[in-house]
Chains A and B, each alone.
Chain A
């Protein structure tokens, strides 16, 4: 079978969704299918760019080369017309839904923008309601789809990690580890600010490349302003192997995005490494795996609460290990596997 995998692309940016799409393509090939990945660049500002990109996706012909099946992941790429289209929905255009009216929206509440928002909702209602099959990557995305568009997903397919074998248990070192793309929605700045409230001698290690140069500069300025140069380390982009090594040696992981769509690869990496994970009450998808006091900590979204959660794990390492082991056990209970995903999307 010829399978075209259609996704959006932000050139020069590579995060969890891109890695997941590549892994998925590789696994579909592994089942003997011919795969082509189609990545459509997407830019959502100024706001006029949004309807332009919607129209571009409607006009581009993803049927070139006669695929038997199209599988799409993200807005607006999933709007591309094709009779046999299935969706593994990573997320919709969040700024027009649950982020609308929040500080993370980044879109003006103006009459033209409200018109564009209505257009996005209408396009989603039409397209998402008529695809052959529709799965989401988390319960929260399915719930948003129900709330925002009145559309019921066919099920949730939890994304597995591509290289779990890299991660494993290790010594509890003197640092907490936060690996992710750097961006305001991932809130690394809150983790840095938390370190100003920490009394114990542990450090914070942050790995990842900034989505926008500005945010990276802002983090550096915060570290300098709070005089945290010797307590907070910014590694920049690191390889998967380096990431696994840092994770193994940490005393816990941090993943505190705002209202994330899924549990995030950081959560999987922490649990594969038997480390507890600290997340926020408003982090969204992480709650599907992280349970407060069982395999990590779910705390209020403030620097003070994060500092306190880190202190608790640091000051009771046997308890930290128990939490990490429970995290590892969680992975087995949730049946997170590629076979499940391929069976449901390809059959």
Chain B
């Protein structure tokens, strides 16, 4: 069976969705499928949305050199505009412009163009998504957005698992918390050092970049008595090592539609998660006192939560074990994902 995975991407930027597309490709190939990817540039300038979506629509991926392509799996929006009789959308992001346009009063000068662009985006998403045989969401938050903005029901949530031969594994709880995802909560560069000022003086923090293109706000601000260590860009193996030895993972960025890979890395490593507020858009994955701790999005609150974990390691370890159990309980593994995508 020939399976094409299609996604849009932003050239010269870090594209988390492309990592998922690439892992899916590898996992399909490992299972004996003939799989390739088609990755197309797509601009965030929503005023160009119509022309770019039209370009995608014009590209024919039903066959390649006379050979039928049996399935099309689309990842980043609006790759679902591509034409294919057996198209499945794995919806891992939803255009943020929907929020911006709904929240912002339209100015007279651009009202017409804004409305036109928004309508074009909405109608084309709805038209092309409803062509899909199945729609799977990367999180319940995404499913809700599809329902709220587009009135489209999804079939199920499919969390994107780590690749099967990932290096993440449990390890002894060390003396530091790890930040291994996006680090900028609403542009507050000093958030981490402010949080640390509210902790037990023995608590330490390690901040890792996922890759060279991720910025680390606050990297050049003075550390709190040397208790924050910025280790820069890390390879997956290095991150696995740091994750295995930490006493908890801090997830800072709020309201993401989809879960960051650091959550699944924490689960694999049996580490508890400290998440800010409505972190990651839905509470289905990180549950307060289930597999982590959800605190208010303030430095004080995060600092107090870190101290609480620090002082009660056993509770942290139990939450970490519960996180690892989540992977099986919630079906976060490639056999389920591929089974659904090819159903």
Contacts and interface: CB of A to CB of B under 8 A. Distances in A.
A43 B38 contact: no
What bracket does the count of chain A residues touching chain B fall in?
20 to 34
Nearest to B53: A59
B105 interface: no
Contacts, number: 100
A65 B12 contact: yes
B268 to A, nearest CB: 31
B41 A61 contact: yes
B52 A60 contact: yes
Contacts of A34: 12
B10 A60 contact: no
Interface in A25-61: 34, 36, 38-41, 43, 49, 52-53, 55-61
Nearest to A3: B12
A13 B4 CA distance: 12
B36 to A, nearest CB: 4
Contacts of A52: 58-60
Interface residues of B, number: 33
Contact of A55 (B2, B13, B48, B58): B58
Given A12-B2, A61-B43, A56 B65 contact: no
Interface string B40-57: 111110001001101110
A211 B48 contact: no
B174 interface: no
B51 A59 contact: yes
Contact of B67 (A56, A57, A63, A212): A212
A339 interface: no
A64 B11 CA distance: 6
Contacts of A40: 40, 59
Contacts of B39: 38-39
A323 to B, nearest CB: 34
A64 B42 contact: yes
Given A11-B4, A40-B40, A61 B65 contact: no
Chain A, interface SS category: mixed
A214 interface: yes
A67 B34 CA distance: 33
A93 B59 CA distance: 17
A233 interface: no
B58 A53 contact: yes
Given A53-B59, A65-B12, A12 B36 contact: yes
Contact of A60 (B36, B37, B40): B40
A85 to B, nearest CB: 15
Given A34-B12, A60-B52, A11 B41 contact: no
B64 interface: yes
A17 interface: no
A66 interface: yes
Contacts of A62: 11, 41
A11 B63 CA distance: 8
Contacts of B339: none
Interface string A1-27: 010100001111100000000000000
B12 A56 contact: no
A2 B59 CA distance: 26
A213 interface: yes
Among A11, A39, A59, the one with the most B-chain Cβ atoms within 10 Å of its Cβ is: A11
B38 A9 contact: yes
A160 B218 CA distance: 47
A263 to B, nearest CB: 23
A67 B63 CA distance: 31
Contacts of A2: 12
B61 A61 contact: no
A11 B11 contact: no
Nearest to A9: B38
Given A9-B38, A64-B42, A36 B12 contact: yes
B66 interface: yes
Contacts of B52: 59-61
Nearest to B5: A11
B36 A11 contact: yes
Among A34, A43, A53, A213, the one with the most B-chain Cβ atoms within 10 Å of its Cβ is: A43
Given A36-B12, A65-B11, A67-B12, A41 B51 contact: no
Q: Which 5 A-B pairs have the closest CB atoms?
A: A65-B12, A65-B11, A59-B55, A212-B66, A36-B11
Interface of A: 2, 4, 9-13, 34, 36, 38-41, 43, 49, 52-53, 55-67, 211-214
Given A11-B61, A61-B52, A212-B65, 11 more contacts: A11-B69, A41-B60, A49-B60, A52-B58, A52-B60, A53-B58, A55-B58, A56-B59, A59-B54, A61-B41, A211-B66
